[in-house]
Amino acid sequence: MADTEPLTQIRVVLCGTSHPGNIGAAARAMKTMGLSRLHLVAPQRFPDPEAERRAARAGDLLAAAEVHATLDEALRGVAFAVACTTRTREVAVPAATAREAAARVVEVALSQPAALVFGNETYGLTTEDVNKCALLATIPANPGYSSLNLAAAVQVFAYELRMAAASAPEVPGRLLAPHDEVEGFYGHLESVMVDTGFFDPEHPKKLMPRLRRLFARAGLEHDEVNILRGILKALSRPRK
C-alpha cells in the first residue's frame, strides 16, 4: 500500500529506557501501526526476556533494533526529528500537538528518514536531547495527571502517524539536511562565535538554544547548510 510507505522511513528512538518491558510494549505498539525501525539509546537492560514477552508478536522489531551510545548516533541521516513528550516546558524548539507533528513527519518521510524521540520513563528527555530535535510534540492530556506510560505514548504517536499517512499528499516537500549535517553546522557556528569572542562557553546563557530554535523553525536544506558553513569559513579567515 502506497499510503503506508512513509511509515517505513520513520524511526522510533527510545532514550535511556529503564524497563525492558516498556521497550517490548513499544515495539508491539509500533508494529500494530506499521512502524518497524526501533532505535535504542543507552537502554538500561536490553536484550531482555521481559522485552520479548511484552512485544508479543513484534519480536522481529526487537531483533532488528539498533542500540546506540548517543542520540546523535541514533539520528544519523535523519532529516526531521521530533521530541515527544506529555510535558510542556521552556524549550528551544518549536512546539506542536502530536497530530500536527505526525502530519509533518509523514510529509518528510515521503522522501527522507524522520524520527520520533522518547525519553526515560521517569525523567523524560533531557533539554540537550530536546534541543537536538526540530520540533517538540505534546500529547494533549489531563493537566492533573499527564503521565502516559512510555509504550502508551508511542502507541498514540504511532497511531497518529498511520492516520496522517492515510491522508498524506503524494508529493514530497523540500529536501531537508540530515541531522548530522545540521549538528556539524551548529558545532561550526559555535566554534566561530567562541573564536571571535562573541560567545563565552563559560557563560552560555540561551544563545545556542535560541539559534537552534531559529534554524529548526526554518528547516535547513543541504545546500543551505553548505552556504552557511561557507559564510562561517569566509568570516573566520584572517583578514588581509
Of 131 and 138, CB closest to a copy of itself: 138
DSSP state of 137: E
The cell numbers describing 36, all together, are: 518497524
Of 104 and 132, CB closest to a copy of itself: 104
Please report how close the Cβ of residue 51 comes to a copy of itself at its closest, in angstroms: 14
Please report how close the Cβ of residue 54 comes to a copy of itself at its closest, in angstroms: 8
- By CB under 8 A, name the binding residues for a copy of itself: 4, 25, 28-29, 31-34, 56-58, 86, 99, 139-142, 145-149, 151-152, 155-156, 159, 162-163, 166
Alpha carbons 49 and 134: distance in angstroms, whole number: 35
Please report how close the Cβ of residue 141 comes to a copy of itself at its closest, in angstroms: 5
Alpha carbons 138 and 117: distance in angstroms, whole number: 12
Among 16, 22, 151, 132, smallest CA distance to 81 is for: 132
Q: Which amino acid is at 77?
A: G
Of 39 and 162, CB closest to a copy of itself: 162
Of 63 and 235, CB closest to a copy of itself: 63
Please report how close the Cβ of residue 209 comes to a copy of itself at its closest, in angstroms: 29
219, 79 Cβ separation under 8 angstroms: no
Transcribe 182-200 into DSSP letters: HHHHHHHHHHHHHHTTS--
